[in-house]
């Protein structure tokens, strides 16, 4: 059913100028037309409201809730999220015995699934132990167990045998059955995505989208997109209208020559052309992974890791990246560069600065850097100057998962972690995301950590991570809506409650206080003026 002209009232409607939330306010109502476009934002006594009502507009009572623009997830992996939502949850297990029983039970109940995938295991449940031999006798099918943080995957021998471990940096993984860090992302996930049937992929995508809708999202940036995901998204779009706008970044992997690196951009350009006029799905540009993660000591740092004195260079040099950036930039597409360590961040900024034309700082290029977990004050200030979007994931700044950082980085560098306020002070546009499924994707929990720098995973934990670098609540909300929308050119349609934009809404039962956000609840989601989610009361 399409939208009807409507007056949304009895809510606090969040409005803001720009993307930083500095000039924000709350309106009393919005008026929308038969296409689900906002035609008025203001107070109930405005003549536009009376006119709409005289013309028969429907009234939607927001029941005193805060009404935000629908959230736009700035960085996520949709198929992988959908697959992980379907995995056997081991979160409540306390021991190896519990885990074995849960897997045995699932295997008995599901004799026809080709492989058994689980999630939520923590090393502490199994006394720090994990190996193929602990689970090999359970079932002949491949068994994959994701560690809760998704930094490790524990496999049985059948799973190890079906994985392509050629060129894996750590051959130790094979006999023990535990694959860690980049092997999880580069080997296990693509494998599980590839072996899934089309029906399985469609059901995973539907599950992930439904989960996003229930969290108030109406848009998402799909990172590291490839042919396999494209095929599934194509079929899904043929079968149904999506209640969310997807924008994808095509993964470019390092090859032997510059020509081979650049040649991968051609496919992204071709797909960008194919979808460029669609409103529900587009290719925004490309993604390059410049380094790894701090916990595995694979993030590229300017100074060695404090724990082992070892340094780790970026996966791409500036010279490697510039030709790719140049080609993408000239074609009018966007670059998204994954950079976590301070050296990778500097490398990514240098490459964008050198590859952008005609003028660095042309804000209409909207190139972006993903993660930015450790950045020097100088580099933090360059982002805004060069018009680079800071794509950040506050869920990764949760103090509950950063306990190893002081040992890995030392206290001084920890003091620079997640320097969001510096990025904002330098006038960079911030786009908030969750990097699902590597972290929980509830927008309000993400905003909670952005604004309080406290743990959403463990609310009793009093630790904070550099609270001086926190964002104001309104700035975090703006970054999760207007900022993310700007970051992928969705701002033509959505991201704010503003005349001319789509009535994409997250209706939230909340107190307007950062510390209270873990109690906040998404009540409804509206997409293009249509109610697409209603929480059970």
Q: Which residues bind Zn ion (CB under 5 A)?
A: 223, 435
Nearer of residues 57 and 223 to Zn ion, judged by Cβ: 223
Nearer of residues 73 and 379 to Zn ion, judged by Cβ: 73
Nearer of residues 159 and 223 to Zn ion, judged by Cβ: 223
Strand order in the sheet with 389-392: 71-76, 217-225, 245-251, 281-289, 334-339, 368-371, 389-392, 430-432
Nearer of residues 182 and 524 to Zn ion, judged by Cβ: 182
Nearer of residues 223 and 328 to Zn ion, judged by Cβ: 223
Cβ 188 to Zn ion, closest distance in Å? 15
Cβ 338 to Zn ion, closest distance in Å? 7
Cβ 77 to Zn ion, closest distance in Å? 6
Which has the closest alpha carbon to 313: 327, 324, 299? 299
- 18's enclosing H/E stretch is none
Q: Which long-range contacts (CB under 8 A, 24 or more apart) does 28-32 make?
A: 30/67, 30/497, 30/503, 31/5, 31/6, 31/7, 31/57, 32/3, 32/5, 32/6, 32/8, 32/503, 32/529
Q: Are 381 and 422 in contact (CB under 8 A)?
A: yes
Nearer of residues 223 and 294 to Zn ion, judged by Cβ: 223
Per the listing, tokens 């927008």 go with: 443
Q: Can you spell out the DSSP letters for 404-467? A: THHHHHHHHHHTTBT-HHHHHHTTPPEEE---BTSS---HHHHHHHHHH---SSSTT----S-G
Q: Are 205 and 231 in contact (CB under 8 A)?
A: no
Cβ 336 to Zn ion, closest distance in Å? 10
Distance of alpha carbon 434 from alpha carbon 140, whole angstroms: 35
Distance of alpha carbon 521 from alpha carbon 485, whole angstroms: 22
Question: Cα 23 to chain center, whole Å?
Answer: 26
Nearer of residues 99 and 439 to Zn ion, judged by Cβ: 439
Nearer of residues 320 and 435 to Zn ion, judged by Cβ: 435
Q: Specify burial of residue 365 (Cβ count, 10 A radius: 0-12, 13-18, 19+).
A: buried
Nearer of residues 185 and 244 to Zn ion, judged by Cβ: 185
CA 258, 259, 262, 265 torsion: positive or negative? negative
Q: What is the CB neighbour count within 10 angstroms for residue 243? A: 21
Nearer of residues 49 and 293 to Zn ion, judged by Cβ: 293
Strand partners, 32: 6, 38
Cβ 289 to Zn ion, closest distance in Å? 9
Cβ 137 to Zn ion, closest distance in Å? 35
Cβ 287 to Zn ion, closest distance in Å? 9
Indicate the SS3 state at residue 240: coil
Nearer of residues 335 and 497 to Zn ion, judged by Cβ: 335
Residue nearest to Zn ion (CB): 435
Q: Please, what's the b/e burial string for 354-364 (b: 16 or more CB within 10 A of its CB; e: otherwise)?
A: ebbeeebeeee
Cβ 435 to Zn ion, closest distance in Å? 4
Cβ 222 to Zn ion, closest distance in Å? 10
Q: Interhelix angle for 377-385 vs 342-355, to 10°?
A: 30
What secondary structure, in 3-state letters, does 26-81 show? Answer: EECEEEECCCCEEEEEECCCCHHHHHHHHCCCEEEECCCCEEEECEEEEEECHHHH
Cβ 345 to Zn ion, closest distance in Å? 16
Nearer of residues 78 and 444 to Zn ion, judged by Cβ: 78
Which has the closest alpha carbon to 369: 322, 418, 431? 431
Distance of alpha carbon 236 from alpha carbon 156, whole angstroms: 32
Cβ 220 to Zn ion, closest distance in Å? 12
Cβ 434 to Zn ion, closest distance in Å? 9
Nearer of residues 223 and 348 to Zn ion, judged by Cβ: 223
Cβ 393 to Zn ion, closest distance in Å? 8
Planar angle of CA 85, 91, 93, nearest 5 degrees: 140
């Amino acid at each position: 059913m399409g939208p009807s002209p409507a007056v949304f009232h009895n809510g606090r409607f969040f409005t803001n100028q720009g993307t930083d939330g500095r000039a924000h306010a709350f309106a009393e109502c919005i008026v929308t037309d038969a296409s689900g476009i906002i035609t008025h934002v203001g107070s109930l006594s405005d003549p536009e409201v009376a006119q709409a009502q005289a013309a028969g507009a429907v009234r939607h009572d927001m029941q005193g809730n805060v009404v935000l623009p629908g959230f736009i997830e700035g960085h996520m992996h949709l198929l992988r999220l959908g697959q992980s939502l379907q995995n056997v949850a081991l979160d409540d297990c306390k021991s190896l015995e519990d885990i074995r029983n849960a897997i045995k039970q699932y295997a008995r109940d599901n004799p026809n699934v080709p492989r058994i995938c689980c999630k939520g295991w923590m090393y502490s449940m199994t006394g720090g132990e994990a190996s193929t031999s602990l689970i090999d006798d359970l079932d002949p099918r491949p068994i994959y167990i994701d560690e809760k943080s998704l930094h490790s995957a524990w496999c049985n021998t059948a799973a190890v045998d079906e994985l392509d471990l050629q060129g894996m940096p750590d051959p130790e993984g094979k006999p023990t059955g535990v694959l860690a860090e980049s092997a999880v992302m580069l080997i296990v996930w693509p494998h599980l995505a590839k072996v899934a049937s089309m029906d399985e992929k469609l059901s995973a995508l539907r599950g992930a989208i439904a989960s996003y809708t229930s969290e108030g999202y109406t848009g998402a940036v799909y990172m590291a997109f490839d042919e396999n995901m494209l095929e599934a998204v194509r079929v899904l779009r043929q079968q149904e209208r999506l209640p969310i706008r997807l924008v994808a970044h095509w993964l470019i992997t390092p090859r032997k020559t510059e020509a081979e690196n650049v040649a991968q951009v051609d496919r992204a350009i071709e797909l960008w052309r194919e979808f460029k006029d669609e409103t529900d799905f587009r290719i925004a540009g490309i993604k390059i992974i410049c380094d790894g993660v701090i916990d595995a000591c694979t993030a590229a740092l300017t100074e060695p890791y404090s724990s082992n004195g070892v340094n780790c260079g970026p996966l791409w040099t500036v010279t490697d990246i510039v030709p790719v950036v140049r080609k993408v930039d000239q074609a009018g597409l966007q670059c998204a560069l994954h950079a976590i360590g301070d050296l990778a961040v500097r490398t990514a900024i240098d490459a964008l600065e050198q590859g952008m034309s005609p003028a660095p700082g042309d804000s209409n290029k909207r190139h972006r850097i993903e993660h930015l977990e450790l950045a020097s004050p100088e580099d933090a200030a360059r982002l805004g100057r060069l018009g680079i979007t800071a794509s950040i994931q506050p869920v990764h700044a949760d103090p509950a998962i950063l306990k190893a950082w002081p040992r890995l980085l030392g206290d001084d560098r920890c003091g620079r972690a997640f320097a969001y306020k510096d990025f904002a002070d330098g006038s960079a546009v911030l786009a908030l995301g969750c990097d699902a499924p590597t972290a929980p994707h509830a927008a309000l929990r993400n905003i909670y950590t952005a604004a309080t720098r406290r743990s959403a995973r463990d609310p009793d934990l009093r630790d904070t991570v550099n609270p001086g670098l926190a964002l104001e609540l309104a700035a975090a909300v703006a970054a999760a809506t207007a900022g993310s929308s700007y970051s992928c050119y969705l701002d033509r349609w959505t991201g704010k409650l503003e005349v001319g934009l789509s009535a994409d809404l997250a209706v939230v039962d909340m107190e307007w206080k950062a510390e209270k956000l873990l109690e906040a609840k998404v009540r409804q989601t509206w997409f293009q003026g249509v109610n697409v989610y209603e929480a059970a009361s």
